[in-house]
Every structure is written in C-alpha cells, then in structure tokens.
Chains A and B, each alone.
Chain A
Amino acid sequence: QQQVKQSPQSLIVQKGGISIINCAYENTAFDYFPWYQQFPGKGPALLIAIRPDVSEKKEGRFTISFNKSAKQFSLHIMDSQPGDSATYFCAASISGGYQKVTFGTGTKLQVIP
C-alpha cells in the first residue's frame, strides 16, 4: 500500500522532444506528490509538486498531470535539453505531521543532441 511504482526505468529522448515519466500509487491517503531531480553524486532537488485537488500543474517546461481516479501521475518535460539528463524520482506522502515520503524507483533520463 505504501509503494509508488515508477516507469520507465530509463529513457532516451532527442533534444527538443518530450520526456514522459509515469508513476502509480495505491494508498489513497497520499495527498502530496513531488518530483525530484538528481544529478550523479548530488542530493535530489525538488522540481515540481502537485496536490490531488488539481489535475495539472505547469512550471516552465515541466508539467505534472494527475489522475486521481486512476491513482496515477506523470511528469512531462517539454523541449527536453541535454542539461535535463538526470535521474528523476516521483514521490508521495501524506500532509502534516511527520509523515515520511515514499519514493518511486527512479527514471534515468538521457537527452541526446
């Protein structure tokens, strides 16, 4: 119930293309869904986050789409750039208190020129 499934494990996209990473969860109590970007040898950095009261959130080239009924959410990176090459983790948690975050397994994105 605490698991967050993420796919694909790896992704190769041409520069300028759209990168799409998908996540699914089981626990309906989750109400906060962040995405993190991690470069090799560095800690994860918050990219964008969404709550279930909206179906989409956009920040620059990054968009989260959220489907509450299907318990799925996805990250879309528009106009992908070589600098976007990193590992991306979706996550889910329950608001408030000291609730821990459940991470997906990660997607290694490579954007080729």
Chain B
Amino acid sequence: GAVVSQHPSRVICKSGTSVKIECRSLDFQATTMFWYRQFPKQSLMLMATSNEGSKATYEQGVEKDKFLINHASLTLSTLTVTSAHPEDSSFYICSARKRGGKNTDTQYFGPGTRLTVL
C-alpha cells in the first residue's frame, strides 16, 4: 500500500499559461501533502505543506500567488503554476503522509511531474 500518483507526468506549456498538477494518494487518506521542487542533480526543495481543508503553508521565498495549492480532500492536492515562465521549468514532486495507523511519519512520494515552459 501507500501509492501516490501524479498527473501529468510531463507537461510542456507556453510562457504565460497556467499549469495544474494533481497529486493523489490512491490507497490511503493523507493528513498532509507536501510539494517539492527539484533541480537537476540537486536535493528536494520543499515549496509548501498542504493540509486538507485549510490554507497551505509556504516556505520562505516561494510565491503563494504563483504556486497555488488546493487540498480539496484527504486524497487529492493540486499545484497550479500560474503565468508560467521558463525559470519555472523543473521537476515537481508531491508526497503524502498517512492519516492514522502505523507509519504516520513516513512521506510517500509521487513519481514527479516534469514541467517545461517554452
């Protein structure tokens, strides 16, 4: 168990458009979901923490108006990159933490979404 999916896996868009990335926990309910950004050959950079039914908590330096996060249910969180620019091109990864039961400290990661902004 503990499968997290992301959609789409790859997206190419034009500069100025908005892109939505979905993160779903397929076989468990998630207390909290996290959104990360990863540049080539670098570690994961936490962008924001998302709790179901409440506003996301953004890390310092992350523009909340540019990276809109919605956590509509215990199994779905979305990240919308608004007015995307080439510098937003990156690998975006979500993770989810289980609600209740064992291993609630473990984060289960999605497969990532490669965003390319032309």
Give the interface of A toward B (CB within 8 A): 32, 34, 36, 41-46, 49, 89, 93, 95-96, 98, 100-101, 103-106, 108
Number of interface residues of B (CB under 8 A): 26
Provide a sorted-by-A list of 7 A–B residue pairs whose CB atoms are within 8 angstroms.
A42-B111, A43-B95, A43-B110, A46-B109, A89-B43, A93-B105, A108-B41
In angstroms, Cα B51 to Cα A98, docked, is 8
Interface of A is mostly: loop
**CB < 8 Å: which of B31, B43, B105 contacts A106?**
B43
In angstroms, Cα B114 to Cα A96, docked, is 31
Rounded to whole Å, the gap between the CB of B33 and the closest CB of chain A is 10
CB neighbours (8 Å) of B95 from chain A are 43
B106 at the interface (CB under 8 A from A): yes
Rounded to whole Å, the gap between the CB of B79 and the closest CB of chain A is 14
